[in-house]
Amino acid sequence: MSIWPMQPLVNLLENGQVSYGVVQPGNDSTSGIPIVRVKDIRAGLVDTSAPMRVDEDIANRHSRTTLSGGELLLTLVGTVGEVAVVPQALRGWNVARAVAVIRSSQVSSRWLQLCFETDSVRAELDSFLNTTVQSTLNLSDLKKIQVPVPPEAERAAIAEVLGALDDKIAINTKLITLLESHTSLEYTAVIAEASHVTRLEEVAHFHNRKRIPLSAPERDVRPGLVPYYGASGIFGTVDEALFDEPLVLVGEDGSVVKDDGTAVLQYIWGPSWVNNHAHVLTGAGISTELLYVAIKREQVTMLVTGAVQPKINMGNLKRLQLTIPNAESLGKIEALVNAETASKRGLFEENRTLAATRDALLPQLMSGKLRVRDAETAVEAVV
pLDDT tens-digit readout, 216-272: 999 999 999 999 999 999 999 999 999 999 999 999 998 899 989 999 999 999 999
Query: Is residue 215 classed exposed, middle or buried when 0-12, 13-18 and 19+ CB atoms within 10 A define those classes?
Result: exposed
Judge if 78 and 145 occupy the same domain.
yes
Judge if 115 and 216 occupy the same domain.
no
Judge if 222 and 89 occupy the same domain.
no
Query: Phi, psi at residue 338, to the nearest 5°?
Result: -65, -40
CB 354 within 8 A of CB 219: no
- Residue 378 has what pLDDT? 85
The last residue of a domain, from among 325, 350, 373: 325
- Residue 1 has what pLDDT? 67
Judge if 133 and 262 occupy the same domain.
no
Judge if 100 and 208 occupy the same domain.
no
Judge if 299 and 203 occupy the same domain.
yes
Judge if 223 and 286 occupy the same domain.
yes
Decide if 240 is inside a domain: yes
Rounded (10°) angle between helices 119-127 and 109-116: 70
**What does the alpha-carbon distance between residue 255 and residue 158 come to, in Å, rounded to a whole number?**
39
Q: Which domain holds residue 107?
A: 6-149
Dihedral Cα 180, 186, 188, 189, nearest 10 deg: 160
| Tens-place pLDDT, residues 138-149 | 999 999 999 999
- Residue 25 has what pLDDT? 72
Judge if 305 and 209 occupy the same domain.
yes
Decide if 182 is inside a domain: no
The last residue of a domain, from among 299, 325, 351: 325
Judge if 215 and 318 occupy the same domain.
yes
The one-letter code for the residue type at 35 is I
CB-based contacts of 3, cutoff 8 Å, min separation 6: 367, 368, 369
Strands 234-238 and 243-244, sheet pairing = unpaired
Greatest C-alpha distance within the chain: 69
**What does the alpha-carbon distance between residue 210 and residue 278 come to, in Å, rounded to a whole number?**
12
Residue 251, domain CATH: 3.90.220.20
Residues of the chain with pLDDT below 50 are none
- Residue 338 has what pLDDT? 97
**What does the alpha-carbon distance between residue 268 and residue 247 come to, in Å, rounded to a whole number?**
5
Decide if 115 is inside a domain: yes
Question: Nearest Cα to 44, choosing from 116, 137, 142, 147?
Answer: 116
Judge if 22 and 125 occupy the same domain.
yes
How many residues belong to the chain?
383
CA separation, residue 382 to residues 159, 161, 294, 356, 358 (Å): 17, 12, 35, 10, 10
CB 77 within 8 A of CB 134: yes
Decide if 186 is inside a domain: no
Sign of CA dihedral 249, 250, 254, 260: positive
pTM for the predicted model, two decimal places: 0.84
Query: Phi, psi at residue 54, to the nearest 5°?
Result: -130, 160
CA separation, residue 306 to residues 35, 200, 254 (Å): 32, 21, 10
Decide if 15 is inside a domain: yes
Judge if 12 and 118 occupy the same domain.
yes
Count of domains forming the chain: 2
DSSP result, 282-346: EESSS-HHHHHHHHHTSB-GGG-B-SSS-B--HHHHHT-EEEEE-HHHHHHHHHHHHHHHHHHHH
Decide if 28 is inside a domain: yes
Question: Nearest Cα to 264, choosing from 276, 281, 278?
Answer: 278
- Residue 82 has what pLDDT? 95
CB 337 within 8 A of CB 289: yes
Decide if 90 is inside a domain: yes
Rounded (10°) angle between helices 152-193 and 109-116: 80
